[in-house]
Amino acid sequence: MPYHSGRHTLQIPGPTNVPDRILHAIANPTIDHRGPDAAALTRTCLAGMKKIFQTEAEVMIFPGSGTGAWESAVVNTLNAGDKVIAFDGGQFATLWVKTARNFGIDVEFLGGDWHHGANAEELAARLQKDKQHEIRAVFAVHNETSTGVTSNIAALRRAMDAENHPALLMVDTVSSLASIDYRHDEWGVDVTIAGSQKGLMLPPGLAFNAVSAKAAEASKHSTLPKNYWRWDDVRVQNQNGFYPYTPATNLLYGLREAVKMIEEEGLPNVFARHKRLSEATRRAVRAWGLEIFARNPAEYSPSATAIQMPDGHSEVDFRAVVLKNFNMSLGAGLGKLAGKVFRIGHLGSMNELMLAGALCGVEMGFELAGVPHRKGGVAEAMAYLTASAAA
């Protein structure tokens, strides 16, 4: 790598740019995790996360990654051999299913077209056949980071309710929480899965579950072996502001600051900002003559856009050119999309000029890498950002 002056442009769909306020918070001295300051920290973080999950239900915070949050959702609520429905919509849906299968869960994959989100009608049809209520849970990814496709969670809930189906609804919000409107309570979600490194603007290292009363009840009957991710231990210790393990104190400092920043901006403003930046990105993509991987505009992701490479051109080479020349990281194609799509993250601590600079890097990168495209993507993005400016 040549020497690069200035800031790296981190434009992957997470980990996202961590604001200085949060980095400084994280750099505070580590404290006694069993003292009064630690207890106050826990309480502030838990209360703040409830607002962000839009829930009155309980929230669990683990030192871990989003992968751990999936595992926690599974091992606390299910039993080996349980039937679960999931939607084959992308790489992260696939990995979550792999997690569940590693615990002996019998997952049935619906769908399979990664260009679209979870299909509520398909779910309804499947549930209708489940007269015995053998299906114990439905897994859905609110925003599939690998494809830039969102799923309508409220519609899934309605489909379940229409069938009076008792399955638990579990939702991965790793790349949607604090970026895309998400309502744990209103949408009747039982377990929400989240991580720190996307909309929350933190480094990776914290995993979250929001847990409905129904999921909490289910956890009493789950016999999957577990220790680290065990909700009931956490619940008992959280009463006093503590944890059954040593918490990742410094990341919690960061979380406290992130919650504060999100409150300062206001959740609705956060959501509107992500929508606007994503629309600017999509307009650039269309102007370049490239295809947005998501097919249904209603399912376009406010947090990440996956873009199909023209045939015969690899995203791997393209991203390498961009990294080398412009010191920008773009998202790779994941799983079966490797080589075929690249992704632009526009979530977290992000604004117009950060995005505009990144889009310039993409447009220039196309040229340098010899990727066929029309010029003018940046111009279209600017036109939209200008037209939609508050001024």
Please give the residues from 197 up to 226 whose contact with its own copies meets the rule CB under 8 A.
197, 203-205, 224-226
DSSP code for 196: S
Residue 138 or 248: the one with the smaller Cβ distance to its own copies is: 248
Rule CB under 8 A: say whether 240 interacts with its own copies: no
Gap between the terminal Cα atoms of the chain? 41
**In the window 109-138, what residues touch its own copies (CB under 8 A)?**
none
- Token pair for residue 109? 């994959």
Q: ω before 15 within 30° of 0 (cis)?
A: yes
- Of 305, 274, 275, residue with least CA distance to 292: 305
**In the window 314-343, what residues touch its own copies (CB under 8 A)?**
321, 323-329, 332
Q: Residues binding its own copies: what is the number (CB under 8 A)?
A: 106
Phi, psi of 192 (to 5 degrees): -105, 135
Applying CB under 8 A, the span of 28-36, 134-142, 283-291, 307-315 interacting with its own copies comes to: 28-36
CB of 155 to its own copies, least distance (A): 29
Rule CB under 8 A: say whether 255 interacts with its own copies: no
Q: ω before 2 within 30° of 0 (cis)?
A: no
Pick from 47, 162, 236, 368 the residue near its own copies by CB under 8 A: 368
CB of 352 to its own copies, least distance (A): 5
CB of 349 to its own copies, least distance (A): 5
- Of 143, 218, 223, residue with least CA distance to 177: 143
CB of 93 to its own copies, least distance (A): 15
Applying CB under 8 A, the span of 83-91, 159-167, 308-316, 372-380 interacting with its own copies comes to: 372-380
Q: HSE (CB half, 13 Å, CA atoms) of 91?
A: 14
Pick from 41, 59, 194, 251 the residue near its own copies by CB under 8 A: 251
- Could you tell me which residues are beta bridge partners of residue 342? 307
Rule CB under 8 A: say whether 269 interacts with its own copies: yes
Taking the C-alpha atoms of residue 310 and residue 124, their distance in angstroms, rounded to an integer, is 36
Pick from 216, 349, 371, 373 the residue near its own copies by CB under 8 A: 349
User: Cα dihedral angle (290, 280, 120, 113), rounded to 10 degrees?
Assistant: 20
